Amino acid sequence: MDERLKGVWPALLTPMNEAGRPDIAELEKWLDVLISQGMDGLYLLGSTGQGFLLGEAERKKVTEVAASVNGGQVPLIIQVGSMTTGESVRLAQHAAGCNVDGISSVAPVYYGSSDGSSAMALKHYESIASATDLPFFPYQLGTSGFSDGLVGFVNKLLQLPNMAGMKLTTNNLLEISTISYSSRGKLTLFSGADELMCHAALCGTSGAIGSFYNVFGPECQFVRNSFMEGNVALATDFMLIFQEMIAEVLPNVWTFFRQAIRLRYEVDIGPAIPPVGNTNRPWKEEKVVALLERIINAAKVNEPNESK
């Protein structure tokens, strides 16, 4: 198991132009920012990166640019799931050619096995996992919704080739624990719920992949590392403030991301691709600044890390 595949990973926001296509110049600038921060890795083209709304050629271009700018500095995992298994396989093979560090995929979208089992998802995953030698990180969605249950589903996933871990898109800590103990330490697990970054570590996760780490990557990395080293007081104080901020921001999250990143990093990620974010309202600049300052101050990045 690759020991680098852990820690705090931004689910990369893909910069878009006004036409809803990838803005390569801003993408290069944005990658430079996140890589220079020393983030533990980058997760590309998931829902935060709007990968499902892009064409196959555009997704390949984003992967190529990221691999080129990165030059092996931090690990990269590419989300290759799409509406068809064939496209997912091609994207996986392309990612392997770009020398990234792993691939990830959601289960089939809109379709499921008629008997309620996990057969269709597992067949889809097997085709993707078999297409390359890259470590494979499928999604976990809720309780999986399959008749064989979560433990049964995990046991079947463990039989897949190149199975390395999972991206857990759940805010249910019991589900995270269930996946952790049922995988018997064979899987590297990433929490996908930003608001459970520290909590999920108690349930066996090795890292966290999230949208808000685009804006607050250094702060979240510092707090999670501090928590793992025993600073529970800092983590408790920070996570309560962080959760409150997330709850306030979510109704207009896409406009917040754009305005916050432009203010803090001078990068314009552009508008979301409709229908994503089509009801989001712009924020007053002073409110965005206040939210930025609140989270930055809560992390106490510049203070000594003393266990309490």
Among 103, 68, 110, CA closest to 89: 103
Residue 151, both tokens: 């433990």
Rounded-to-integer distance, Cα 294 and Cα 288, Å: 10
Rounded-to-integer distance, Cα 191 and Cα 167, Å: 6
Question: 167 an active-site residue?
Answer: yes
- C-alpha 70: how far from its chain's center? 17
Rounded-to-integer distance, Cα 236 and Cα 242, Å: 10
Please provide residue 81's backbone torsions phi and psi, each rounded to the nearest 5 degrees. Answer: -65, 145
* Upstream peptide bond of 275 is cis (omega within 30 degrees of 0): yes
Q: Spot the catalytic one: 6, 125, 167, 213.
A: 167
Q: Spot the catalytic one: 43, 125, 139, 213.
A: 139
Rounded-to-integer distance, Cα 21 and Cα 19, Å: 6
Residue 129, both tokens: 């996992």
Catalytic residues: 139, 167
